[in-house]
Structure 1
Amino acid sequence: MRLLFEMDLHDYAECTRSFVRNSARSIIIRNGKVAMVHSLKYDYYKFPGGGIEVGENPVEAMIRETREEAGLTVILDSVKEYSLVHRIQKSDSDPAECFVQDNYYYLCDALDETVSQDLDSYESGEGYRLEFMDPQSAIQKNRNVKSSPYNGLMFEREARILEMLIAEKYL
């Protein structure tokens, strides 16, 4: 899979250990809009997807997470690799730990009908909702997040992916 970009803060020289948490995300486009999960609590957008569990490959994780977070059933035969984003930085919670993450993005289609979400408690607490978004609106929203417990690189990563999709004429 092609490396689209790296997000490396070079702030981890003092780290003595690493925490690796890779993720896989879906890019589902319909009529010029992209499927995004909207956090109503913190008012940001993210591509459906999340952490790759032990024993899963990235495609399996993307399909599972897209169904859980967005209620969308990915059509397996439609899945195509899009890109990889590599992120590395000092942990927000432990200065001795380095956070490393490869984020795998896949272009795919989903069935028209949605199913019930199967959200974790924090996702329910954030009010995750599927929305098909105009990409420019999602970019603007993510670059203006006022308050959240998350590192801002997550919002910027999603904005940059949307910009690349636009530049490459997917959107």
Structure 2
Amino acid sequence: MRLLFEMDLKNYDKNGKVFKRPSARAIIIKNKKIYMVHSILYDYYKFPGGGIEKDESNIDALIRETAEEAGLTVIKDSIKEYGCVHRIQKSDHADCDIFIQDNYYYFCEVEDNKINQNLDDYEDYEKFTLEFVDPIVAIKANRNKNHGPKDLVELEREAKVLEHLIKEGYFE
């Protein structure tokens, strides 16, 4: 999968213990808008998706996480690779110094019917809500609003992926 960009904060001990957490994220575009998960509490947008579990394929994680976070059923035959964002920064985990995350983005289509979300505790607390949004609205929200304790690197990653999609003509 092609590398879209790298986000390396260089704020960590290069000899420290590493924590890796790859993720799979869904890009679902229709009529010049995109499905995104909106944190109502902290007012940011993210692509549906999340962490890839041990012994889980990227595609299986994409399907599972999109259903859990967004209540959408991915049509497996529609999945196409888009690109990867490689992220490295100081870890906020007590037993690790470096956080490394490869974020794999996939185009996909979803079934028309919605299913119930199955949110983690923090996702429920933040009131994760699926929204069909103009990409510029999501970019501006992620960059210009107060998001409380949220990791701004993660939010900038999502804004930059949206910018890539716009630049490459996916919303025309």
TM-score norm. by structure 2 comes to 0.95
The residue aligned with 2:31 is 31
Over residues 53-86 of structure 1, what are the superposed CA-to-partner deviations in whole Å (9 max), with x where a residue is unaligned?
0111111101100000000000000000000000
One-letter amino acid of the counterpart of residue 165, structure 1: L
Contact in 2 for aligned 1:92/1:151 (Cα 8 Å): no
One-letter amino acid of the counterpart of residue 170, structure 1: Y
| Number of residue pairs aligned between Structure 1 and Structure 2 | 171
Which 4+ runs in 1 deviate beyond 3 A? 92-96
Which runs of 5 or more residues in structure 2 are unaligned? Answer: none
The residue aligned with 1:63 is 63
Over residues 21-73 of structure 1, what are the superposed CA-to-partner deviations in whole Å (9 max), with x where a residue is unaligned?
11000000111110100000000000000000011111110110000000000
- Find the residue that maps to 1:73 and give its secondary structure: strand
Structure 1 vs Structure 2: percent identity of aligned residues?
Answer: 58
1:151 shift after superposition = 1.6
TM-score norm. by structure 1 comes to 0.96
Contact in 1 for aligned 2:44/2:147 (Cα 8 Å): no
Which runs of 5 or more residues in structure 1 are unaligned? Answer: none
Contact in 1 for aligned 2:8/2:89 (Cα 8 Å): yes
The residue aligned with 2:163 is 163
One-letter amino acid of the counterpart of residue 166, structure 2: I
1:103 shift after superposition = 0.2
Over residues 135-162 of structure 1, what are the superposed CA-to-partner deviations in whole Å (9 max), with x where a residue is unaligned?
0000000002313322211110000000
Give the Cα–Cα distance (whole angstroms) in 2 for the partners of residues 14 and 108 of structure 1: 36
The residue aligned with 1:118 is 118
Contact in 2 for aligned 1:15/1:95 (Cα 8 Å): no
